[in-house]
Amino acid sequence: MRLGDKKIVVTGGASGIGGATAICCAREGAQVAVVDLDREGVEDTVRVIEEAGGSAQGFGVDVQEESQVRSLFEEIGGALGHVDSVIHAAGILEGALVPVDVFEEFTWDRVIDINLKGSFLVSKYSVPLLEKAGQGVLVLIASGAGVKGGSSSVAYGSSKGGVHGLSLVLAAQLADRNIRVHGVCPGGIETPLKMRVVQKQADASGRSVDQMAAGLGDPKGVGQILSFLVSDEADYVRGTIFTR
């Protein structure tokens, strides 16, 4: 299998792109650490993996809290010795459809802390374990929002633009340590976060949710791309990856 014997950490693994990615990686033979603040969702993902014959362990972590992220990678390092890949998909989307001139500072800070600071903290504490792998891969999930176009939330678009910028900086900084870094920018994907926005848009427009959600992609499609990206077969891939 493509990821046989690989040790892979997936944050945001309780649902959406992170959950689909954890399952895809396990199906390809990886030993997966599933990380999310939603412990029940983590347990569900681990259960799906194990019932299919895969290997997974769950961790409940708030990625905006440095002490928790540090402890996570200390525990993983003690158990596994190294990590071959980290796919950081944890994030939130709040403040959708709120104009900038009435956007609350609390919401701005919360989105930036979880999405952007969380990406920084996961990168900071995973790099030593990725370096031990000899050929590590760090994938940060940004978004088409904030990189190629707008967003329903000024905080979300700004945070994801920042995550993309972080991936570019780290790609150059970590190349000499044999760590390949990618920013991945999904488009419109039918995740729980996205569907909450679709519901608000449907309510505001008078259209049905099904109409508003038409054309959204399946998280599994992105998960399949990500599981390839952390494989040895993707060693020649560089830079930002855009998906539907």
Tokens encoding 201: 């848009």
Q: How far apart are the first and last CA of the chain?
A: 26
Of 73, 120, 125, 156, which one is the catalytic site residue?
156
DSSP helix, strand, coil percent of the chain (3-state; round to 5): 50, 15, 30
Report yes or no: 148 and 107 within 8 Å, Cβ to Cβ. Answer: no
The span from the CA of 73 to the CA of 79, in Å, is 10
Is residue 156 annotated as part of the catalytic site, yes or no? yes
Q: Residues in the chain, how many? A: 244
Q: Is the dihedral of CA 21, 22, 23, 24 positive or negative?
A: positive
Contact indicator for 34, 90 with CB cutoff of 8 Å: no
Q: Are strands 31-36 and 7-11 parallel, antiparallel or unpaired?
A: parallel
**Where do we find the tokens 């790609």?**
171
Q: Give, in order, the Cα–Cα distances in Å from 68 to each of 33, 60, 115, 160, 176.
A: 15, 9, 15, 22, 28
Q: Give how far Cα 51 sits from Cα of 26, 43, 108, 208, 231, Å.
A: 11, 12, 39, 36, 23
Catalytic residue list: 156
